[in-house]
Structure 1
């Protein structure tokens, strides 16, 4: 026995808000799936990553940043990146906050804003961290369900917002469904917000939806609105920088930015990540090509799965929410045997759904074939 390690559990030390939390589920481990399938190659569709790679300018920026050395701390404010974002979006750099992924900013918002017992309103089905971070702070969470067709339920949102939440997390497009609110639906949410509520508009997948008819650019919709708000975006998805972790927020006022600065970890975005994000932001052609190729695959795979009799939520993102008609955990395990990783959805009411991000056409064809075979085999 290693004498340094204790066998006495620390149960009594853990806050009750934390003790009852589920651990974040990133999806199955690729090495374990490779061993299970006996295949040297795994198709990973569980994390909504970009299969088309980063801009060549990003690769060069990271190479140069590493060549410059990593023995010094990065700029804690990320000034060059904040200024680049500001120029791109026509906002002051002092209204930009940077994070180690946009979920880092979600956590900072909860730490800065929420008191014990405060109410948070968000979507169902929804991104798990929109619920987890508030619960860590001892807040209450009310989840507004989508309609049966995964659309916007205006009455349900109006009722939820009438209960005076302090924070409202709204993802547009929605993760995991891929559905989006149109301009009128977003306006209905904004109009129903209590004056004391902070609206957090999570646009992690906004780049994929921005060219679609009816999609409202959240920053343009909220710009100039005389109330507190913040729009969150990320470089992890459409820009392909998931491995270096850079997200950002644009806030209504400098006071909110200053509060987030007080609770964030110093140097929360490393130097190569800052340089990569600046380069990615400048390559408009690469982003447009990624969005175009993704939309083509979303349409093609949706058609093929629908033809096979599976129910697929229309998606404006890089992933699909699919009703398999079977327990999602079972379907996911069977896909693991074929070397394919998806996210089995365990949120109550959606236990037959999987979320699958799309990859290259060849990988997507393997996924469609395996999924349809599994679902057909398991029909009663």
Structure 2
């Protein structure tokens, strides 16, 4: 077999929109970092996971779900989970859509809404899939930058939204910065967004931000608007269910949910995941304790890094965006040698930044010591 010819033939089949896309960067492989560092334990700070774990109720719910057997398909509608979410948020269950993580719903939205050439407006710096999924569909993406101090640029948003987007992706808090929009800033975006556009409010990290003063509840802000919108949330972050993949959206009307149902795979959330999410949703005390402990570490670690001379963006999420003052890829490789994984940011203009999700206090202390040591050594 001529592998070069086969490769060329395969490449010719790929749509040009797909061929030019970057691969999603999940961060370094823990096994490779363990081998490089010679450490039996790796501190993984690259994926914004919950170091405190899921509610104890989740393990029992998953055990019972597995005992029921895995040979049958799950409920394709996720009816019980949708009803539980609807009850918790005071919305009809038919306006709740489930996904294999909330990023799956981002993908479904692009598949259901976008035509080639449509305009999508989102943030910069921002979550890469807010750009990647629209580009898969051949859409144009305009990214609205933050101010030099990572603040909200009202004029830039007004200008971008005046261009007539079909989709608007707005994350609050923002990934990777952890910065939140105030109620007034969110209202500015809502007022400037054309009524013909679908407004997507991504609140993947909203549970962490709700403990902070001034954070607006996006669902409440959108609830009374007579226009298309959807709020996305997830069980992967504050609820600690990243391994089973459950996200959800609350839509402005059932017709939007029905459109997403037409393009999603029929069984996109498995049965143990649905049961785990129901259990996690009901344990309010565990969620509150996770949020409390996370906020303490975000503030403590941020203050220590700033005291060492590093620029750290104030965060209301479970991660920090840190300007190392040198190429982030190089810093990340140095941290790998210490058994620590962070995410080097590669978005243009932010190549000296790393994003680090926080772990337990002991792990965080190791991270601070290693990062400040690397930066101090390079400054000599």
Residue-by-residue CA offset, 1:225-253 (whole Å, 9 max, x unaligned): 01000000000000000000000000001
The 5-angstrom pairing of residues 58-137 of structure 1 reads 58-137=58-137
* TM-score, length basis structure 1: 0.98
Deviation at 1:78, TM superposition (A): 0.1
2:258 counterpart residue number: 258
Local SS of the residue matching 2:379 = coil
The 5-angstrom pairing of residues 347-358 of structure 1 reads 347-358=347-358
Matched, 1:369 2:348: no
For 2:355 and 2:178, how far apart are their aligned partners in 1? Answer: 10
For 2:190 and 2:206, how far apart are their aligned partners in 1? Answer: 18
Residue-by-residue CA offset, 1:38-83 (whole Å, 9 max, x unaligned): 0010000000000001101001000110111100000000000000
Deviation at 1:223, TM superposition (A): 0.3
For 1:174 and 1:54, how far apart are their aligned partners in 2? Answer: 23
Q: How many residue pairs are counted as aligned between the two chains?
A: 379
2:244 counterpart residue number: 244
1:307 counterpart residue number: 307
Given the superposition, is the C-alpha separation of residues 2 and 67 from structure 1 closer, same or farther in structure 2, using an over 3 Å criterion? Answer: farther
1:153 counterpart residue number: 153
2:322 counterpart residue number: 322
2:34 counterpart residue number: 34
2:206 counterpart residue number: 206
Deviation at 1:254, TM superposition (A): 1.1
* TM-score, length basis structure 2: 0.98
Deviation at 1:212, TM superposition (A): 1.0
For 1:73 and 1:6, how far apart are their aligned partners in 2? Answer: 37
Local SS of the residue matching 1:169 = strand
For 2:231 and 2:265, how far apart are their aligned partners in 1? Answer: 20
Segments ≥4 residues shifted beyond 2 Å? 5-9
Given the superposition, is the C-alpha separation of residues 155 and 283 from structure 1 closer, same or farther in structure 2, using an over 3 Å criterion? Answer: same
Unmatched segments (≥5 aa) in structure 1 = none
RMSD over equivalenced CA pairs, Å: 1.3
Deviation at 1:2, TM superposition (A): 12
The 5-angstrom pairing of residues 163-178 of structure 1 reads 163-178=163-178
